[in-house]
C-alpha cells in the first residue's frame, strides 16, 4: 500500500507539473500575442521617421537653394536676399526652426506636431512668394508711370518684370510636404489599430 500510495503521489506530482508547464506555455503565448501589433507599429514608426527626417533635411537644404532670379540683380534665396524685401530674414528663421523642430520631433517619434511644422513651412513659403509678387507689382506699376524721371526705378521695374522663381521653391515645398506626409503616414497606420484595440470588449 505504501508503494501504491507513493506511485499515486508521484503520478499526481507529474500530472501537476505537466499542467503547470502547460499553463506557463499558455501564459507565455498570451503575453507574446499582443506584441505582434507592436512590431507593425515599429515598422510604421520607422517609415514615418525616415520620411520625417528626409523632409526636415530637404527643408533645411532648401533655405540655401535659389528662390527667385532677378536679371542683373542676381539670384535670391532665404540665406541671400536684399534688405528691401518684406520680412527679410524672418522667413529664414521660421524655415530653419521648422526644419530643426521636425527633425527633433521625428527622432523622438512625436509625429502629431509635424502637422504644425509642415504647415508653418508651407505657409512661410507662400507668404514669401506672395510678398515678393506684391512688391514687384508695386515697383513695376510706379516704373510705368508716364511722368517718371527716376532711372533707377525704371531699371528696377524692367528687371522685376523678367524675374522668375527658381528650383529652390520646389525643394522647400517638397521638404514641407514630406514632413506632412510623415505625420499622415503615422496617423493612417496607427489609428485603425488603436481603434480596433479600444473597441475590443
pLDDT of residue 200: 44
Instruction: Per residue of the chain (201 residues), give pLDDT as tens.
Output: 444 444 444 344 445 445 445 544 544 454 444 434 334 556 667 899 999 999 999 999 999 999 988 888 788 888 887 665 555 678 899 999 999 999 999 999 999 999 999 999 999 999 989 988 888 888 787 777 777 667 777 777 777 778 889 999 999 999 999 999 999 999 988 755 444 444 444
pLDDT of res. 42: 63
pLDDT value, residue 52: 95
Beta carbons of 171 and 120 less than 8 angstroms apart: no
* pLDDT at residue 199 in the model: 45
First to last CA, the chain: 53
| Residue 87 pLDDT | 57
Query: Does 1.20.1630 match the CATH number of domain 38-198?
Result: no
pLDDT at res. 25: 53
Cell 517638397, located at residue: 174
Burial state string for 153-181 with b = 16 or more CB within 10 A and e = fewer than 16: beebbebbeebeebebbebbbebbbbbbb
Decide: 99 and 56 in contact? Cβ < 8 Å.
Answer: yes
Cα–Cα distance, 156 to 161 (Å, whole number): 9
Quick check: 85 and 135 in contact, CB under 8 A?
A: yes
- The pTM is what? 0.69
Report the SS3 class of residue 83: coil
Amino acid at each position: 500500500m505504501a508503494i501504491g500510495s507513493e506511485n499515486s503521489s508521484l503520478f499526481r506530482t507529474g500530472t501537476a507539473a505537466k499542467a503547470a508547464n502547460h499553463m506557463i506555455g499558455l501564459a507565455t503565448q498570451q503575453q507574446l500575442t499582443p506584441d505582434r501589433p507592436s512590431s507593425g507599429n515599429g515598422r510604421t514608426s520607422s517609415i514615418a521617421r525616415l520620411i520625417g527626417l528626409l523632409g526636415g533635411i530637404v527643408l533645411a537644404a532648401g533655405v540655401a537653394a535659389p528662390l527667385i532670379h532677378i536679371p542683373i540683380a542676381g539670384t535670391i534665396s532665404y540665406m541671400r536676399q536684399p534688405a528691401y524685401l518684406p520680412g527679410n530674414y524672418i522667413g529664414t528663421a521660421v524655415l530653419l526652426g521648422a526644419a530643426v523642430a521636425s527633425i527633433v520631433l521625428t527622432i523622438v517619434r512625436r509625429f502629431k506636431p509635424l502637422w504644425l511644422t509642415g504647415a508653418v513651412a508651407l505657409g512661410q513659403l507662400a507668404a514669401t512668394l506672395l510678398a515678393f509678387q506684391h512688391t514687384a507689382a508695386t515697383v513695376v506699376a510706379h516704373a510705368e508711370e508716364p511722368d517718371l524721371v527716376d532711372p533707377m526705378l525704371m531699371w528696377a521695374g524692367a528687371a522685376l518684370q523678367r524675374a522668375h522663381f527658381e528650383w529652390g521653391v520646389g525643394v522647400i515645398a517638397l521638404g514641407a510636404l514630406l514632413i506632412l506626409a510623415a505625420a499622415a503616414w503615422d496617423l493612417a497606420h496607427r489609428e485603425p489599430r488603436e481603434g480596433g484595440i479600444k473597441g475590443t470588449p
